[in-house]
Copies of this chain bind each other. A is one copy, B any other.
Amino acid sequence: MAVLNLIEAITHALDYEMGKDESVVVYGEDVGFEGGVFRATKGLQQKYGEKRVFDSILAESSIVGSGIGMAINGLRPVVEIQFSGFMFPGYNQIVTHAARMRNRSRGLYTVPMVIRMPYGGGVRALEHHSESLEVLFAHIPGLKVVIPSTPYDAKGLLLAAIRDPDPVIFLEPKRIYRAFKQEVPEEDYTIPIGKAKVVKSGSDLTVVTWGAMVRDTQKAIEIVEKEGFNIELIDLRTISPIDQETVVESVKKTGRFVVVHEAVSSYGPGAELISIINEKAFLHLEAPPTRVAPPDIIVPLPKGEHHYLPDVNHIAVALRQVLKF
């Protein structure tokens, strides 16, 4: 049992699976010799050689597109997009090919590939380093979208993603890459894709979130619970396909719902959850399902970024509002 932070858990999972499965190859910009700008692939080229771990050309469409070809021809590519904001040149390959090859060939060719991307804000970065783009993947049939929130989950979900028969977009909340450590078993274990986790059960309100927002939301819940409430927290873990059962069950119990996310509000991921709850738990609702999300603006550069991300206080205010409705 090692005590690892989130990024170390990812390195460990990659290492583990490469050791086990020769068909796993890892590449992306600066991923080889240097081990990636966040060091997620540190040491892997030295251990597994340049054929299995390499620096790609600086071209995201090539990174994704070549990965599709490799996956069809028997490999299990795990590619890195340096920041999710740089996935756009590769988006054509992701949407029109990775997501569709199985359907287009009626199961003859499949794309068991993982596309890793650090995502999200709060690290005071340059432009395009802070986007939360989960909807752009979750709206596309054929893609799975996974977001871990702890080192333990990161390993289990990444192993599940690599072994998944379909393409998985693996979004890593870089704000918490090194935020805390956790015991991560050295052994093989997976966390099923498509299953949410009830972090904490409660009876008065259901809160759903994922990624780095899990911790902020936990803190907000702690504050609000001191005021006499009992709140259920669900870490969605998989953005698509949604574990609607877990969420709907919870709302049927609590009657109240808040979703917290880092993506902009309009046409954002929270809207889908609210719609599911309307469809499945309408008669149980005692207050309007509510989203806590950034406004419809472009993630500002560092000096303005605090206006963007909801903070603990902001979340707490929203929880109270819904609880007292």
| A268 CB-CB contact with B under 8 Å | yes
Q: Per-position contact with B for A259-274: 1 when CB-CB < 8 Å, else 0?
A: 0000110111111101
A242, B266: Cβ atoms under 8 Å?
Answer: yes
B275, A271: Cβ atoms under 8 Å?
Answer: yes
Q: Quick one: given A91-B92, A96-B85, are A240 and B266 in contact (CB under 8 Å)?
A: yes
24 A-B contacts (beta carbon < 8 Å): A88-B96, A96-B128, A99-B298, A103-B298, A104-B127, A104-B298, A135-B267, A136-B139, A139-B263, A139-B264, A139-B266, A139-B268, A141-B264, A141-B297, A267-B272, A270-B275, A271-B271, A274-B274, A274-B275, A275-B291, A278-B288, A278-B289, A282-B285, A282-B287
Number of copies of this kind of chain in the complex: 2
In the complex the two chains form, what is the Cα distance from A268 to B135 in whole Å?
Answer: 9
A274, B266: Cβ atoms under 8 Å?
Answer: no
Residues of chain B contacted by A296 (CB below 8 angstroms): 141
Residues of chain B contacted by A240 (CB below 8 angstroms): 266-267
| A100 CB-CB contact with B under 8 Å | yes
Q: Interface size class for chain A?
A: 35 or more
In the complex the two chains form, what is the Cα distance from A271 to B242 in whole Å?
Answer: 14
**Interface set, chain A 230-278, CB cutoff 8 A to B:** 240, 242, 263-264, 266-272, 274-275, 278
Residues of chain B contacted by A289 (CB below 8 angstroms): 275, 278
In the complex the two chains form, what is the Cα distance from A83 to B50 in whole Å?
Answer: 41
Given A141-B264, A266-B272, A278-B290, 10 other A-B residues pairs in contact with their CB atoms under 8 A: A104-B298, A136-B136, A138-B266, A138-B267, A139-B266, A141-B298, A270-B275, A271-B274, A274-B278, A279-B290
| A142 CB-CB contact with B under 8 Å | yes
A100, B298: Cβ atoms under 8 Å?
Answer: yes
**Interface set, chain A 97-153, CB cutoff 8 A to B:** 99-100, 103-104, 127-128, 135-136, 138-139, 141-142
